[in-house]
Copies of this chain bind each other. A is one copy, B any other.
Amino acid sequence: MEVKLPTFNSVFSIDCVIFGFEAGELKILLIERNEEPYKDWLALPGYIVEQDESIDDAAERILYELTGLRDLHMQQFHTFGEVNRHPQGRVITVAYYALIRINGQKDLRPVTQYAKKAFWHPVNELPKLAFDHSEIFKTGFNKLRRRLNYQPIAFELLPEKFTLTQLQSLYEAVLNKKLDKRNFRKKMLSYGFLKELDEKQKGVSYRAAKLYKFDRRKYTKIFQNELNLENKGKVG
């Protein structure tokens, strides 16, 4: 059945690439669309920017409306402006990404009818996505990789208390390569912004590892005068 669609001109939209980390796997948030075009397809959460909101505000609103997630720290990473990227007309989209702890989150519940549901999907073996969203995801993943090297973003994906092995496996999942355990530990600990706790891991059937947490105050104290973390912030 062919559906007749309206066309429109000069529209800004936002698309979101939201990363989470769960069970040693890196995942992103997808929605199932409930609207033409690409009805029933999987897609990144995304929608149109209003006249009276900044694009940053729009990104937060849209993510909330499509997935129920709020208060993420989202950052734009690229703008996609091919003429025919949207079948209904000229839509330029600004892509944002954010990181989140999956465990701490409740259900994902779209609050508009534009999405049927929202769910996490491993970044490996993603299905085809609506529009040019596969390309948007790929670009976002590359940016994430780069940023991991100079910003303390990993801690936004992990639970508050984590082991060094968990931290390392996150780095490995994002960078898609094995890292050296000794050096990773040495380097991470040498920064001084990881706080060693008295607790140990529980419920594991092997030697329990020490738990750590990220001390943001120390982090900003250490790096407040440094413009450039290229040497200090790099792991791997």
Additional pairs, 15, CB under 8 Å, beyond known A12-B92, A145-B228: A10-B51, A12-B81, A49-B81, A51-B90, A52-B83, A53-B83, A54-B81, A54-B82, A54-B83, A55-B79, A76-B79, A79-B79, A92-B92, A92-B94, A230-B236
For residue A67, CB closer than 8 A to chain B, the reply is no
1/0 contact string of A36-76 vs chain B (CB within 8 Å) = 00000000000001011111101000000000000000001
Copies in the complex: 2
A17 to chain B, nearest CB (A): 15
A149 to B234, CA, bound (A): 13
A53 to B52, CA, bound (A): 25
For residue A222, CB closer than 8 A to chain B, the reply is no
Number of A residues with CB within 8 Å of any CB on chain B: 28
1/0 contact string of A208-236 vs chain B (CB within 8 Å) = 00000000000000000000101000101
A207 to chain B, nearest CB (A): 33
A85 to chain B, nearest CB (A): 9
A175 to B12, CA, bound (A): 35
For residue A11, CB closer than 8 A to chain B, the reply is yes
Please name all residues of chain B whose beta carbon is closer than 8 Å to the beta carbon of A105 when the two chains form the complex.
none
Interface centre among A11, A52, A90 (most CB of B within 10 A): A90
For residue A9, CB closer than 8 A to chain B, the reply is yes
A87 to chain B, nearest CB (A): 15
Please name all residues of chain B whose beta carbon is closer than 8 Å to the beta carbon of A228 when the two chains form the complex.
145, 175
A149 to B230, CA, bound (A): 9
A154 to B56, CA, bound (A): 33
B52 near A81 with CB under 8 A, answer: no
A236 to B227, CA, bound (A): 15
For residue A78, CB closer than 8 A to chain B, the reply is yes
Question: Nearest chain-B residue to A177 (Cβ)?
Answer: B228
